Structure 1
Amino acid sequence: MKNRHPLLDQYVELDISGKTMPIRGKLIDLGQDILVLHNGNQFLYVPLIHLQQLRLSVHDKQDMDVPETLFEHQNELISYRKVLMNAKGMFSEMYIAGNQSIHGYLTSVMNDFFVFYSPVYHSVIVSLSHLKYLIPYNPNVTPYTLTPEQFPLKPSPITLARTFDQQLRKLIGEFVILDLGENPNKIGVLKSIDQNIIELSTASGNAVYIHFDHVKTVHLP
């Protein structure tokens, strides 16, 4: 597919779910479930599940020097899972939705979720189906210029399950924050999960019910 797509190595625009403005850059690689864009400064890895439209940019084409990609081998077909595995331990930025862009390190990759360790949120469990894009940084860059002593990479305090559903079920009874706390009704005690419906007890003691498929991230305070 990499050698056949007509927009490969062209300056393009992407519309992705949850982002109002298009993303622009040079299309570097295109796999079965992920594409790679270079915006002049960074590589963006965009899962195709959130790609709404890909088109040639109507803006002036930019001549940009594209450096060597940080980890994947050019003779291998790129895939979402390979990108995540290669990004483990690298300082990265990930974008979930709205203004939810967080910085840290990808520490574990499971069947349908991964764990992202952030100096702000600590261990965040992220559904694979909700990552909009990942930006790995150069090896000499650290989050907020923190030293390794200030921001040691810690293992997750949570025993990891194989799937996102199993992982949430392990947290029943715990005080959790869903979707990075963007909505106060997504902060509370996880009471139960029944037929893909999550029951959360909020600060007021009221029950809130959320469909499992709409949970993007979960972390403990």
Structure 2
Amino acid sequence: MFVLSIQSLRGQIVDVVLSRDIFFQGKLIDSGKDIIVLSDGQRYIYIPLTHLHRIKRSTLILNNEGTSSQTSPTVAVDESISYRTTLANAKGRFSEIYVTGQIPLHGYIFNVRSDYFAFYSPVYKTMLVSLQHLKWLIPYYNLKNSPYTLPDKKLPVIPYNQPLLPSLEEQLKKWEGELVVFDLGEDPMKIGLLKSVRNPMVEIVVANGETVYVKLSHIKSAHLP
């Protein structure tokens, strides 16, 4: 019923509030059972419904009325849009994602697994991103230059040559014994030696030698420094 209600706003300029009071305004281009698509006139913004707190018809009018000069990224007309089809369609395309912290990440999705996806960032390299913690995805469709104007050798087609396991828990277990960074390292208690992964908890040893247990379901991203 909630999804049907959102569909009644399609084609209209809407105000959207996400968790942490993140605000977007744009034309509601499409909606599915677990995702909506906005256009702010420059970009297409894909927002999983998990993080949508509020949506309403806007009292303000965008100067460009939410239209975009970019090629439409939506799936075929006869295919229902969903979070997973969106991720699949974005694979290999330079994109902006937001997971946590003060700034979004830039890079590209190169693999989608059961409860996480693998993301290559020229800054952070290979990252594991929990599906439940992605706040938004903005694919770039008309880049005139390579990302950051980097040469191709800095943007590898296969950035991680080891097979990725189906679940985040399994993949993190493979990293046991490695130094890991959770959630971009904003919290020093989430940077350390990964000792063990036993759902629901992950055990790490931080810089001062303390053992810290982090709840697996609260891990938003992980990468090896």
TM-score by length of 1: 0.92
What is the rounded CA distance, in whole Å, between the counterparts of 2:162 and 2:217 in structure 1? 21
| 2:164 equivalent to 1:148 | no
What is the rounded CA distance, in whole Å, between the counterparts of 1:48 and 1:155 in structure 2? 30
Retained in 1: the 8 A contact 2:100–2:183?
Answer: no
**Corresponding residue SS for 1:86:** helix
| 2:43 equivalent to 1:7 | no
Amino acid at match of 1:112: D
Retained in 1: the 8 A contact 2:176–2:195?
Answer: yes
Retained in 2: the 8 A contact 1:2–1:8?
Answer: no
CA shift digits 1:159-216 (9 cap, x unpaired): 3110111111211111111011111111111112234111110011111111111100
How far off its partner does 1:71 sit?
Answer: 4.8
User: Alpha carbons of 1:147 and 1:125: their partners in 2 closer, same or farther (altered >3 Å)?
Assistant: same
Match of residue 114 from structure 1: 117
What is the rounded CA distance, in whole Å, between the counterparts of 2:23 and 2:187 in structure 1? 25
From 189, 202, 209, the equivalent of 2:206 is 202
Retained in 2: the 8 A contact 1:88–1:106?
Answer: yes
What is the rounded CA distance, in whole Å, between the counterparts of 1:139 and 1:153 in structure 2? 19
Aligned CA RMSD, in angstroms, stands at 1.9
**Corresponding residue SS for 1:14:** strand
| 2:216 equivalent to 1:215 | no
Q: Which has the higher helix share?
A: 2
What is the rounded CA distance, in whole Å, between the counterparts of 1:151 and 1:123 in structure 2? 11
**Corresponding residue SS for 1:36:** strand
What is the rounded CA distance, in whole Å, between the counterparts of 2:168 and 2:192 in structure 1? 18
- Structure 2, unmatched stretches of 5+, are none
Match of residue 160 from structure 1: 164
| 2:127 equivalent to 1:124 | yes
Retained in 1: the 8 A contact 2:116–2:129?
Answer: yes
How far off its partner does 1:61 sit?
Answer: 4.5
What is the rounded CA distance, in whole Å, between the counterparts of 1:200 and 1:55 in structure 2? 43
From 85, 105, 108, the equivalent of 1:105 is 108
Retained in 1: the 8 A contact 2:111–2:118?
Answer: yes
**Corresponding residue SS for 2:152:** coil
How far off its partner does 1:145 sit?
Answer: 2.0
Amino acid at match of 2:173: R
Paired-residue identity, %? 42
User: Alpha carbons of 1:64 and 1:49: their partners in 2 closer, same or farther (altered >3 Å)?
Assistant: closer
What is the rounded CA distance, in whole Å, between the counterparts of 1:202 and 1:172 in structure 2? 14
What is the rounded CA distance, in whole Å, between the counterparts of 1:113 and 1:21 in structure 2? 23
What is the rounded CA distance, in whole Å, between the counterparts of 1:104 and 1:117 in structure 2? 5
What is the rounded CA distance, in whole Å, between the counterparts of 2:37 and 2:160 in structure 1? 29
Amino acid at match of 1:90: R
Of stretches 80-89 and 194-203 in structure 1, the one that deviates more from structure 2 is 194-203
Amino acid at match of 2:185: G
5 Å-filtered alignment, 1:1-221, equals 5-18=7-20, 20-62=21-63, 63-67=65-69, 68-141=71-144, 142-221=146-225
Amino acid at match of 2:11: D
What is the rounded CA distance, in whole Å, between the counterparts of 2:118 and 2:206 in structure 1? 24
